[in-house]
Structure 1
Amino acid sequence: MLPPDILARLAPIADDPRPVLLAVAGPTAVGKTALTVALAQQLDTEIVSADSRQFFREMSIGTAKPTPEEMQGVPHHFIDSHSITEDYSAGRFAAEAEALLGRLFASYPVVIATGGSGLYLQALTDGLDELPPVPPAVRQQLQHELGAQGLAPLVAELAATDPVAHARLDLQNHQRVLRALEITRGTGRPFSSYHLGPTAVAAKAAARPFRVVKMALTREREELYQRIDQRVLQMLEAGLVAEVERLLPFRAHNALQTVGYQEIFGYLDGAYDYAEAVRLLQRNTRHYAKRQLTWLRRDTGYEWVTMSE
């Protein structure tokens, strides 16, 4: 099941007795769930989810959360672990996941982490950048501008002031855009300039109580897009509209500012009809997958595996 070069990297190293975290990344609908469950069975281990939407109990259909049948008895951590009413960050996830890994590694030499949220997976595998404090007034001003003018002008400002962050971030996630602009405005330096360089990342990795082996999954573009389109139809058949209707009272929460929910909110608001909602869901999910791949490709530590082969 595992490619030989990755399997070799999981083997114990004589001068490095640390256990291994196998990080399996990839775009939505590429097949992460099925593969990681098979790998967990092969390696006799457990899975840590690093998907920033599958944490939340109230969101299941729109997040493509694995069902008990798909999990096949393999324990999955950080699925249905929190409520959308909680403020949950990548930093908090990394701290809680590292504490969990400390317990799991007492029983397993290899543990699998997987998810499509690049920032959350990176927080666990590499650590997060240390960002300077910014006066609260900067965030308050940005939130005022967001409410008054919408997200588009802020995205345009990010493109002009920090093109690197503009290329990397999920530009439909207003919290990520606001955070980048908050640092840029508050410090006078681009948000991306605070990202850890290769030397700092390597130093952090060497200090961690576990080794990390990274594997990224991909497919031929046409095949991936067909899988995405089909998944959207399956979500709708499974009751996505009803799930989003139940979440209307919470629509302002950060967890719901994401593809799969925003499009249905627009449909329920009467902004467009059902056919247009389906089209937007499929298109925006394909765009999201493209951004996920762009994020992953900037990390040279990943070993790429083409699922189509």
Structure 2
Amino acid sequence: MNTGAPILTVLGPTASGKSALAIRMARSLGGEILSADSRQCYRGMLIGTSATTPEEQEGIPHHYVQTVSPHASETASSFQQKAASIIEETQSRNTPLIIVGGSTLYLQALLFPLEAAPPSEAQHLEALQEEEKSIGLAGLYQKLESVDPAYASQMDGLNRQRILRALDVWMQTGRPFSSFHTQHKQGFDRPTNPLFASQPVFGLFMERAILHERIAARVQTMIDKGLQKEVASLLNDGCSWDSNPMKSVGYREWKPFFEGKATLLETQEAIVIATRQYAKRQMTWFRRWPFIQWIQAGGNH
């Protein structure tokens, strides 16, 4: 149980106003913010992830925002380790910490610490890569759906690294990769991480129609701010469409555009649709956690 400075968590679907609320909370408490977003951590992805700008941060220290190379491969496990270090450091200073984000795997790794899965087996990965040549990444994803539907259902698109890793662990152990999360053994009634045992976890929600409007408005703002140039910059920096940044919602939809197969308007519409679908998956995941204290947010939250 945590007896030091408060550690508060704010989660919810994309575009629900989490970051703004977290900043108000940190300002009120004299605290700092830890982002639990699997894409805002990458440098060069400021616009498409709606990461807070230095001006919006109002001088409040933000951790794990724009700190990782887009060529790196971050995972829930690596986030868990970095977050633990940040929490320990802020607790040593008796400084409140507000954790904010919507990445289900990252939040899960923090609230329900991961059981150590076995290291990758090169022989299995090679076999899977050979299998990919014949059935494609979509075929491997279908295989993952059959052996580990829980892990496949919350995946943000066809994430090659995660698909290969999950299938590798299944081949080694005969267990779904999702079973290496302690909550599958102990249930979802409350976080198993003792640091969060008595700390509130707040969730933002709003009516679907309002959220859909906010998502459409946010995507328009991204376009206006220069998302097209941001994507082009990542490509010019050597990021392929198979890299973590380009597999993200808001980025992968640009591939047809840059291949001359889609217009800007079609790309924008595709991003809106994909983002709404992602928000639905997020809420489906969060509803499994009965300990969340839900807060209804309005259209102007």
- Report TM bin, short chain: 0.7 to 0.9
The aligned counterpart of 1:6 is: none
1:60 to 2:46 alignment = yes
- Cα distance in structure 2, aligned partners of 1:163 and 1:37: 36
1:122 to 2:108 alignment = yes
Change over 3 Å in CA distance of 1:25–1:254 after alignment to 2: same
The aligned counterpart of 1:229 is: 216
Aligned-residue CA RMSD in angstroms?
2.5
TM-score (norm 1): 0.86
Change over 3 Å in CA distance of 1:254–1:148 after alignment to 2: farther
TM-score (norm 2): 0.88
Q: Does structure 1 retain, via aligned residues, the 8 Å contact 2:148–2:176?
A: yes
Return 5+ residue gaps in structure 1 as ranges.
1-14
Render the CA deviation track for 1:68-119: whole Å, top value 9, x for unaligned: 2221222111112121122322222222222222221233453101112121
| Percent identity for Structure 1 against Structure 2 | 37
Report the residue type matching 1:181 in the other structure: L
Report the residue type matching 1:273 in the other structure: T
The aligned counterpart of 2:92 is: 106
1:255 to 2:242 alignment = no
Residue 211 of structure 1: how far off its partner (Å): 5.0
Partner secondary structure for residue 150 of structure 1: helix
Report the residue type matching 2:96 in the other structure: V
- Cα distance in structure 2, aligned partners of 1:79 and 1:303: 25
Partner secondary structure for residue 213 of structure 2: helix
- Cα distance in structure 2, aligned partners of 1:38 and 1:148: 52
- Cα distance in structure 2, aligned partners of 1:87 and 1:16: 31
Residue 307 of structure 1: how far off its partner (Å): 0.8
The aligned counterpart of 1:216 is: 203
Partner secondary structure for residue 27 of structure 1: coil
- Cα distance in structure 2, aligned partners of 1:16 and 1:176: 32
* Structural mapping, 1:90-239, within 5 Å: 90-108=76-94, 110-146=96-132, 149-197=135-183, 199=186, 204-206=192-194, 208=195, 211-239=198-226
- Cα distance in structure 1, aligned partners of 2:233 and 2:133: 24
Change over 3 Å in CA distance of 1:171–1:242 after alignment to 2: closer
1:267 to 2:257 alignment = yes
Change over 3 Å in CA distance of 1:253–1:164 after alignment to 2: closer
Report the residue type matching 2:16 in the other structure: V
Partner secondary structure for residue 271 of structure 1: coil
Given candidates 236, 258, 268, the residue that maps to 1:278 is 268
Q: Does structure 1 retain, via aligned residues, the 8 Å contact 2:121–2:168?
A: no
Partner secondary structure for residue 87 of structure 1: coil
Residue 133 of structure 1: how far off its partner (Å): 4.0
Change over 3 Å in CA distance of 1:115–1:126 after alignment to 2: same
- Cα distance in structure 2, aligned partners of 1:286 and 1:39: 27
- Cα distance in structure 1, aligned partners of 2:199 and 2:175: 31
The aligned counterpart of 1:11 is: none
Given candidates 19, 29, 36, the residue that maps to 2:15 is 29
Report the residue type matching 1:33 in the other structure: S
Report the residue type matching 1:302 in the other structure: I
Render the CA deviation track for 1:125-163: whole Å, top value 9, x for unaligned: 321132234522222333344455433222222222233
Render the CA deviation track for 1:210-262: whole Å, top value 9, x for unaligned: 85421111111111111111111110111001111111121232232111111
- Cα distance in structure 1, aligned partners of 2:207 and 2:129: 39
Change over 3 Å in CA distance of 1:225–1:150 after alignment to 2: farther
Q: Does structure 2 retain, via aligned residues, the 8 Å contact 1:259–1:281?
A: yes
Which stretches of structure 1, 4 residues or more, deviate above 6 A after TM superposition? 200-203
- Cα distance in structure 1, aligned partners of 2:128 and 2:2: 47
